């Protein structure tokens, strides 16, 4: 209901790629959002404006390759999701006109995900437990009002918590944050936090490494 892609594509992109390979260069978000033929400035500052146009085109192109039943199911859920968001914006969030609500739906800034990219651990042949994977590979950004408003806590300031407990609501991720932080520190595991500007500078500085020259996963695991 909250996406424009089929459930199968969304499961692959978010559950199997983002959650399993968060901050692993060449996989995760750096694979899903990779456009190596764009330079860092075009990719970071101009390309996001094309997302409202490009995303439906990509979704339609992928719908052509699935069964008719899957395509109809996806179109029905997309329609339900768009209408539900539109209704909530007008009746709950306080948007005064249909045009402003539609504008917000189209302009919502989703491109921030690559700001989370960071240098991944080099695990060698070590197969880490889930708690180690989540604490090493996921990072929380410091709270900023505009990011809280645009994305919510579980994507920004409680990303570690959201990966550990993906079924928790946005509000509950914020409530368990102190407990998770205390637990990881007691177990001498990292609890990664940084500011948005620091990650933004890192991404711009290391763009070539993260998004253009990303090594194959075999190099990261020592095979």
Q: What is the DSSP string of 150-217?
A: HH-TTTTTTHHHHHH-TTS-HHHHHHHHHHHHHHHHHTT----EE-HHHHHHHHHHTHIIIIISPPPH
* Residue 34 token pair: 């990779």
**pLDDT confidence of residue 172:** 94
For 39-56, letters b (16+ CB in 10 Å) and e give: ebeebbeeeeeebeeeee
Total count of domains within the chain = 1
132 assigned to some structural domain: yes
Average pLDDT estimate for 199-204: 84
**pLDDT confidence of residue 49:** 76
| Cα–Cα distance, 101 to 128 (Å, whole number) | 45
**pLDDT confidence of residue 79:** 85
Mean pLDDT of the chain: 76
32 assigned to some structural domain: yes
Long-range pairs for 31-37: beta carbons < 8 A, 24 or more residues apart: 31/214, 33/111, 33/113, 33/114, 33/211, 34/211, 34/214, 35/211, 36/211, 36/212
Average pLDDT estimate for 206-218: 68
Q: How confident is the model at residue 186 (pLDDT cuts 50, 70, 90)?
A: very high
pTM for the whole structure: 0.70
Q: Is the per-residue pLDDT at 55 higher than 90?
A: no
**pLDDT confidence of residue 180:** 94
Q: Which of 140, 137, 141, 144 is nearest to 118 (CA)?
A: 137
- Ranked by mean pLDDT, the top range of 64-68, 87-91, 102-106 is 87-91
Q: Is the per-residue pLDDT at 116 higher than 70?
A: no
131 assigned to some structural domain: yes
* Residue 166 token pair: 């993906």
177 assigned to some structural domain: no
28 assigned to some structural domain: yes
Q: How confident is the model at residue 184 (pLDDT cuts 50, 70, 90)?
A: very high
88 assigned to some structural domain: yes
Average pLDDT estimate for 37-61: 79
Which of 48-57, 87-96, 138-147 has the lowest average pLDDT?
48-57
Q: How confident is the model at residue 175 (pLDDT cuts 50, 70, 90)?
A: very high
Residue 45's domain comprises 7-139+192-221
Which of 97-101, 115-119, 182-186, 205-209 has the lowest average pLDDT?
115-119
Q: Is the per-residue pLDDT at 112 higher than 60?
A: no
For the chain, percent of residues with pLDDT exceeding 90: 9
For the chain, percent of residues with pLDDT exceeding 70: 76
171 assigned to some structural domain: no
* Residue 38 token pair: 């764009």
173 assigned to some structural domain: no
Higher-confidence position of 32 and 144: 144
Count of CB atoms within 10 A of residue 180's CB?
19
Q: What angle do CA 172, 152, 47 make, to 5 degrees?
A: 150
């Amino acid at each position: 209901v909250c996406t424009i892609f089929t459930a199968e594509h969304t499961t692959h992109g978010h559950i199997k790629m983002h959650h399993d390979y968060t901050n692993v260069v060449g996989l995760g978000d750096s694979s899903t959002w990779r456009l190596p033929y764009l330079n860092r400035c075009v990719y970071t500052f101009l390309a996001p404006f094309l997302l409202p146009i490009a995303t439906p085109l990509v979704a339609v192109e992928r719908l052509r390759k699935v069964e008719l039943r899957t395509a109809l199911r996806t179109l029905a859920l997309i329609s339900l999701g768009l209408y539900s968001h539109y209704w909530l914006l007008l009746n709950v969030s306080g948007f005064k006109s249909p045009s402003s609500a539609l504008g917000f739906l189209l302009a919502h800034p989703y491109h921030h995900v690559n700001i989370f990219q960071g240098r991944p651990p080099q695990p060698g042949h070590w197969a880490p437990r889930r708690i180690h994977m989540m604490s090493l590979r996921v990072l929380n950004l410091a709270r900023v009002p505009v990011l809280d408003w645009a994305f919510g806590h579980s994507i920004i300031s409680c990303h570690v918590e959201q990966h550990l407990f993906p079924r928790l609501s946005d509000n509950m991720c914020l409530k368990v944050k102190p407990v998770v932080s205390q637990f990881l520190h007691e177990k001498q595991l990292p609890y990664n936090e940084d500011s948005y500007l620091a990650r933004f500078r890192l991404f711009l500085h290391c763009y070539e490494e993260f998004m253009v020259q990303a090594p194959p996963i075999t190099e990261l695991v020592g095979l």
